[in-house]
Amino acid sequence: MDGTISNVAAGSLAEELELAAGDKILAVNGHKPTDIIDLSFQLAEEDIELLIEHADGTREVVAFDKDVDEELGAEFSSAVFDGVRRCKNHCVFCFVDMIAPNMRDTLSVKDDDYRLSFLFGNFITLTNMTPKDFRRIKQFHLSPLFVSVHAMNPELRAKILRTSAGAKINEQLDELERAGVEYHTQVVLCKDLNDGAELDFTIAQILKRRPHAQSLAIVPVGVTRHRRDKFPLKQFDKTSAAEVIAQVERYQKKSRAETGRTFVYLGDEFYFLAEKDFPPAEFYDDFPQIENGIGMTRNFVDEWFSLKPDTRHLTPAVDVVCGTSIAKVFKTLTADMPNVRIVPVANKFFGERVNVSGLLTGGDIIDALKNLDGSRDMILIPSTALKSGEEIFLDDVTIDDLRKIFAPAKVLPIHDGAHFRRVLTEAQR
């Protein structure tokens, strides 16, 4: 069990109780919390008794009264105190199995934890669920969840996940629905595996599960040069990506006509591959799966244009780092800014067919920038390539490393389209 506090907010109840980073909450009113979900329910009481273990190993009971809606004001080193539920599947396209050897341990964690699905939108397969887990989901009404479907044909899904438990998808979704849980779904689409007629079947089955099913995202399979799995995976090209778009558009139009919502969304990579325009923002409804790469480019472009252009104080020389897939979009946005240079970085670390900005490594970025002529005053980096909440790339290179190498140029992570435009048009400081 580990409920270690990582940060205490200033002026919070936790600070008033003299809790500090490194302290561990072992029990609340005699109950051991297994995660922050447990903890939040246990702390809903007015009379609280905490069993605290301090960083030096000493233990103390802290008793206090609080308002019902008063929060503790502490952050924890992990959202789950009893360990992340690991995935026991061996999916034919598992990205964790395609990362380079000797990378940091956290990148090799294959989680399949319903709690992280509820808290952070992580996708789960449901194959590792127990009856107790379903009861707890119902008890705390943990909704919505995010479910990796991949195929609604039970036999095909078992083949893709390489577990017989994969065939139970219908029963498991039924269980969620009986618990009153809503869920978002995704399909990692592989050419000649779960596309074509199988994709038609999957879409139709998920559509029947509305309104519990809230959305269906379809993303193309990605393969890195480190993949050693012998299962044959085929990726999409311009022609086959266009075929998928045409196939899915039929369902999108029908769904919008019936409910006013698109419901079925395609990953941005399909439009890049097919060299087709992205749908308008309203087509993505409220961007329910933007963290899954669904509508991220459309949202970025619209945020860019939401700001009134102001080029009076452009920074003299800016290098904009990005993946090769989105480079054309960036060049279009900055076409009237001669001082801005778009730097599409080939992904040598994972393989050049991996072309999204979020999987760029610091080493590849450094190599690409070193090969360019001329000076630069600023380097803009996609924040999606950095570990959440930190300035570190997948290969453990940091933003500070880039700042040292390319000084005196400023190195800034860019978070969205509006931020991108503001940085490019603000006065030098």
CATH topology of domain 5-76: Pdz3 Domain (2.30.42)
- Residues 307-336 pLDDT 10s: 876 655 556 799 999 999 999 999 999 998
Q: Are the CB atoms for 196 and 244 separated by under 8 Å?
A: no
Domain 307-425 has CATH 3.40.50: yes
The encoded tokens of residue 193 equal: 């595996």
Q: Are the CB atoms for 61 and 80 separated by under 8 Å?
A: no
Tell me which residue has tokens 């990796």: 148
Mean pLDDT of 352-360: 91
What share of the chain has pLDDT > 70, as a percent?
96
Torsion of CA 176, 179, 183, 186, to 10 degrees: 0
For residues 148 and 160, give the distance between their C-alpha atoms in angstroms, rounded to a whole number: 11
- Residues 208-230 pLDDT 10s: 999 999 999 999 999 888 888 88
pLDDT higher than 90, residue 427: no
Domain with CATH 3.40.50 in the chain: 307-425
The DSSP call for residue 128 is: T
Beta-carbon count within 10 A of 389 CB = 6
Query: What is the reported pLDDT for 428?
Result: 37
- What global pTM score does this model have? 0.88
Torsion of CA 124, 130, 132, 136, to 10 degrees: 10
CATH pick for 96-294 out of 3.80.30, 3.40.50, 3.30.70, 1.10.10: 3.80.30
Backbone angles phi, psi at 216, to 5 degrees: -135, 120
The DSSP call for residue 179 is: T
Q: Which residues contact 150 (CB under 8 A, 6 or more apart)?
A: 91, 157, 160, 161, 186, 187, 188, 194, 202
Domain with CATH 3.80.30 in the chain: 96-294
The Cα-based distances of 136 to 154, 252, 285 in angstroms read 26, 34, 31
The three-class DSSP label of residue 380 is strand
Choose between 107 and 392: higher pLDDT. Answer: 392
Q: Is the dihedral of CA 330, 394, 290, 5 positive or negative?
A: negative
Average pLDDT of the chain is: 91
